[in-house]
Structure 1
């Protein structure tokens, strides 16, 4: 069950409308690093949490709903940037409408043609949002690692957008979003710290069934053999405490891909043999 308040989570102000920046903001809504991705990712992860782990379900769902608020903020920012024209364009406008001129010069035409100068569920190139961006594996540890990555790329995007604008209102909003990404990265790390034996994922798989010859071995893929570079990942104890890293100067190799064409209905043969 969800409830909605008409008040934005954080005030959104635009002093100098910029249709081009509105186009850039679309990435933070419907892009691979955007708020639609994390809102739905956390929500679907929460749906899979069993009753005995209610604290994780609450953590995920509360953050998902917060991210819905971020979508609302960004959609407001897009509209405010689209529904006005930069000062220099207003001054230069003669016969043409300055807003439409600004949109066609640097914005995303579909924001005008399909959405009437409002935000859309697309990225900065106009590509529709896809559920393929969402990671919800059903394994809490795997999902938390995915969430750290999602917040990392989200914070990176918000930081880049912050540097792309001189508008004080947009910088204030993005400063808020960057700060929330900081919190969310840390909360997912904190959640991982509460889980025992979460490396490797899934830790519940019986490691005695793994190939014991290669489960902690770094394999070099260079054609020529090289010396062990003596890096953290080629020597010493593994982070899970269950093995010792080793180094192989080559891949093991074995067997040829000698596939047989046996299904005539697939028509994979060049001729009727």
Structure 2
């Protein structure tokens, strides 16, 4: 979405949108960072090694993404962009629900000794 929204922008338009630093470093290429410009790092991936704890981390990540998509929807009046963001937001809701279901299955089976 970001690429589609900026691919035809002029340098002047990018500058006016506050994207001149990004353009100077990356042209119009995608560079994964948060809204404050902090680059994405694999250190953001949380894993404890306990399936239940890890699923709760996944649930939290899905809910944070859902909230972010909602805030992005609130920031734009572009209906097509809103539609894409709404799809992504709803996908996060479904992921969160499936992870919650998995937690309940693991809790129910936690004490069972199974041999495979």
Using the size of structure 1 for normalisation, the TM-score is: 0.38
Gaps of 5+ in 1: 1-76, 86-98, 205-273
Q: Judging changes above 3 Å, is the alpha-carbon distance between structure 1 residues 196 and 126 closer, same or farther for their aligned structure 2 residues? A: closer
Question: What is the alpha-carbon distance in structure 1 between the residues aligned to residue 100 and residue 108 of structure 2?
Answer: 14
Describe how 1:94-113 pairs up with structure 2 within 5 A.
99-113=10-24
Question: What is the alpha-carbon distance in structure 1 between the residues aligned to residue 41 and residue 7 of structure 2?
Answer: 27
Give the structure with the larger helix fraction.
2
The match for 1:159 is 70
* 1:138 match: secondary structure: coil
Q: Which runs of 4+ in 1 moved over 6 A?
A: none
Look at both structures and tell me which one has the larger radius of gyration over its CA atoms.
Answer: 1
Pairwise CA distance, 1:133: 1.5
The match for 2:61 is 150
Pairwise CA distance, 1:100: 1.3
Instruction: Show CA shifts across 1:46-75 (max 9, x none).
Output: xxxxxxxxxxxxxxxxxxxxxxxxxxxxxx
CA RMSD of aligned residues (A): 2.0
* 1:114 match: secondary structure: helix
Using the size of structure 2 for normalisation, the TM-score is: 0.84
* 1:135 match: secondary structure: coil
